[in-house]
Structure 1
Amino acid sequence: MSWAGPYQYEIGKSPDKQETPPEVIFDEQVPTLLCLSHLRWSFVYQRPQHLMSRFARDFNLLFCEEPIPTEDEQPWLEVRPEENGVQVLVPRLPHGCEGETALRVQRELLDGYLSKLGVDELMLWFYTPMALDYAGHLQPSLTVYDCMDELSAFRGAPPELVERERELLKRADLVFTGGYSIWEAKRELHDNAHAFPSSVDVEHFAEARRIQADPADQAEIPHPRLGFYGVIDERFDIELVAEAAKQRPDWQFVLVGPVVKIDPADLPQRDNIHYLGGKTYDELPKYLSGWDVAIMPFAMNESTRFISPTKTPEYLAGGCPVVSTPIKDVVRTYGDTEIVYIADGADAFIASVEKALVDGEDRDRLLKIADEILGDMSWDHTWALMKEKMQCAK
């Protein structure tokens, strides 16, 4: 089956409102994997995008996001084709459509679209337990919970999240986790839990090892450059960055990424701190190529207790030494590698950066150690191992 998209499915009718849309393909001969996510496909390219773009090789891949408002009077479901055949589903709800009414409408939109597709075999992949409120009635042949973060510890988490996760853990056939620390917590709650730390597209980030022209907004920033990319939110230690930048005004702090859930006015403002905003996944190696040291100044709080940052192997693939605060999974995985430096507090962070700057001058040694660390680490390898677990669980 194929038809035009982006497609708008409305309750009771299904008009196509695009004049020259691209084509959406659905193969009735293969199973459908419905991924239910709190993260938007087009926000920051990370674990869900890496995995789902690969699972789309074997399944009809539907990636369902949380709803967003529409000015229309009637709710509708936006269906947007993305890379490798992934279909992104976005419920569009009128203003004032909230609470139980909103959940009912989401269920109706999702049910109607699955019915139109003629889905026979359905599998569910949860990133957020809150999706049970509108997808919990479905009857999948397999349910996977990919617990990449302890969402209940994040700022703004709904109070009922812990209860929903308990319910999801009872329903799930498989639980994957984004790191070892969170696996140690979840394995006590599920007897088929497996740690799959976030991996790396080595070839993509190895582009940073080549000498190349700086992006325009980085080109005029002097060296040495200490770089970070990612979401700047409550997990980011703004006090640490402020103090390090104050003590070392000759160092340039290059911070790439969107600011979320914190007031931009609270961010430290100094001549040597540069906020370059969000960049696409394809742009990241160009920025990384121009850094002398990559930094991970994560705050040590409940929101970072279980994280396993994807940045660590990405920075190493780009040939950049790393200085990180003592995040548990970073320490246990990279703490003795000689090119990932662990520092607790501003003074230790500054001392570690100084060492990294000196050690980084031995480029051949740096790249040799980085390649040994990365080994066969890849998203393709992680995806293949996950597929094996799914086949065994069915």
Structure 2
Amino acid sequence: MPTIIYPPSIPWSWMFQRPQQLLGHFSASGQKVLYEDLGNFLQPGIRSISPTLLLCQGISAMTIPHPRPRILWLTVPSHINLIHSYSPDLVIYDAVDEPKDEFASWLPYYPTILEKADLIFCSSQSIHDYFSKRHPHVHLVPNGVDYVHFSPHHFKCPIDLPSGKPIIGYSGAIAPWVDWKLLSVAIQENPGLNFVFIGALFQLKKFPLKYENVFYLGLKNYHELPSYLHHFNIGLIPFLQTEMTKGCNPIKLYEYYAAGIQVLGTPLPELLTIPNINLENNPHLFSLRLRYLLEGKDFSKAERMAYAHANDWGERAGRMLQAIFSRLLEKNNSV
């Protein structure tokens, strides 16, 4: 079985995202995964998540004996320049954001990625459109969800959630691409609702909103997250429509759907084809749609959950592994 190495990019336990989900599934299917954890470790060493998934904390994955072929899995564009340090048999770039606006610094690395990556995965259609015109081995694999983790169980209400009013919730990065002006209008026009925000600050020094019915609860452990989502009446995806967000395939969409809650977002390209979603970009109509959803009956919960189930990370990982093995075989046959 191959060994997949992930250079230091994001801490394993910080906002459990696409890399952790996919690499966890790869390891569960028998691939050896060496995840170089990001952080300052007083005692460098190896933390074993499972027999096939090791966190390299303060040490290089190259110091750990492992079988070949060796696959280098990249999500940070600048890491394409680290190839010589790993001597990989296959280089994979997993493209998850447009190199625009907040991520404009990524673009200078794209020519090298196109030259040196053996295989490219893309999380959205716009990112796929860019790479598929420039590289022969590109696959569209959107984000997904750990359905079992988020689907309904009996969850106690977390003690830091506000009570007494319906909860309009947001889970994800507290970042500049959120439409804070739109939210400000919706919050002021709905004093009878509580607005709850969960997630880490990203490129912001402080939480941007201050209203009596707004509650910023900070970053929550991935294992605690479903207990919060199951007490949301509506989940929000209120992103600005920019060059960067046109390539955004929000993980929170799948997590909200797995939890069975209704979703209100802004009309991002990646959300336009999602069944049973609600989209508005006018702040006052957004505010009005919130009240409409709360007052009406929810007839599409089962369809939303079925959609989430069909988009589980396990399906994504299986599809990617097929492409990886095919590309490895192709490279071996060409030698």
Q: Which residue of 2 aligns with 1:175?
A: 120
Q: Which residue of 1 aligns with 2:97?
A: 149
State the Cα distance separating 1:251 from its structure 2 match. Answer: 1.4
> What number of residue pairs does the alignment pair up?
327
State the Cα distance separating 1:65 from its structure 2 match. Answer: 4.6
Q: Which residue of 2 aligns with 1:42?
A: 13
Which whole-Å deviations, capped at 9, do the CAs of 1:56-90 have from their partners, x for residues lacking one?
A: 13222111255x5689xxxx965433356422234
Gaps of 5+ in 1: 1-29, 92-108
Distance 1:187 1:350, change over 3 A: same
Distance 1:366 1:211, change over 3 A: farther
State the Cα distance separating 1:257 from its structure 2 match. Answer: 1.0
- Matched-pair contact (CA < 8 Å) for 2:259–2:305: no
Distance 1:154 1:62, change over 3 A: farther
SS in 2 for 1:264: coil
2:24 to 30, 34, 53: 53
The root-mean-square deviation of aligned C-alpha atoms, in Å, is 2.3
- Matched-pair contact (CA < 8 Å) for 2:255–2:308: no
AA partner of residue 277 (structure 1):
G
Structure 2 length-normalised TM: 0.89
Gaps of 5+ in 2: 329-335
Distance 1:226 1:193, change over 3 A: same
State which drifts further: 231-240 or 379-388: 231-240
AA partner of residue 311 (structure 1):
K
Task: Give, in whole Å, the separation in 1 of the partners of 2:260 and 2:41.
Answer: 45
Q: Which residue of 2 aligns with 1:26?
A: none
AA partner of residue 93 (structure 2):
Y
Asked if residue 392 in structure 1 is aligned to residue 330 in structure 2, the reply is no
- Matched-pair contact (CA < 8 Å) for 1:285–1:318: yes
State the Cα distance separating 1:287 from its structure 2 match. Answer: 0.7
- Matched-pair contact (CA < 8 Å) for 2:31–2:52: no
Task: Give, in whole Å, the separation in 1 of the partners of 2:18 and 2:135.
Answer: 22
Task: Give, in whole Å, the separation in 1 of the partners of 2:212 and 2:121.
Answer: 43
Asked if residue 313 in structure 1 is aligned to residue 254 in structure 2, the reply is yes
Q: Which residue of 2 aligns with 1:264?
A: 206
AA partner of residue 214 (structure 1):
C
Asked if residue 226 in structure 1 is aligned to residue 163 in structure 2, the reply is no
> Higher relative contact order at CA 8 Å, sep ≥6: structure 1 or structure 2?
2
AA partner of residue 204 (structure 1):
H
Q: Which residue of 1 aligns with 2:314?
A: 380
Asked if residue 130 in structure 1 is aligned to residue 78 in structure 2, the reply is yes
Task: Give, in whole Å, the separation in 2 of the partners of 1:84 and 1:148.
Answer: 28
Task: Give, in whole Å, the separation in 2 of the partners of 1:377 and 1:141.
Answer: 30
Distance 1:373 1:355, change over 3 A: farther
AA partner of residue 348 (structure 1):
L
AA partner of residue 358 (structure 1):
E
Task: Give, in whole Å, the separation in 2 of the partners of 1:78 and 1:164.
Answer: 31
- Matched-pair contact (CA < 8 Å) for 2:197–2:215: yes
Task: Give, in whole Å, the separation in 1 of the partners of 2:54 and 2:234.
Answer: 38
SS in 2 for 1:82: strand
State the Cα distance separating 1:165 from its structure 2 match. Answer: 2.3
State the Cα distance separating 1:317 from its structure 2 match. Answer: 1.3
State the Cα distance separating 1:39 from its structure 2 match. Answer: 2.3
Distance 1:192 1:133, change over 3 A: closer
Q: Which residue of 2 aligns with 1:215?
A: 158
Asked if residue 63 in structure 1 is aligned to residue 40 in structure 2, the reply is no
- Matched-pair contact (CA < 8 Å) for 2:262–2:301: no
Distance 1:55 1:269, change over 3 A: same
Identity %: 24
Q: Which residue of 2 aligns with 1:240?
A: 182
- Matched-pair contact (CA < 8 Å) for 1:319–1:366: no
Larger radius of gyration: 1
Q: Which residue of 1 aligns with 2:109?
A: 164
Structure 1 length-normalised TM: 0.77
Distance 1:296 1:130, change over 3 A: same
AA partner of residue 258 (structure 1):
A
Task: Give, in whole Å, the separation in 1 of the partners of 2:22 and 2:268.
Answer: 24
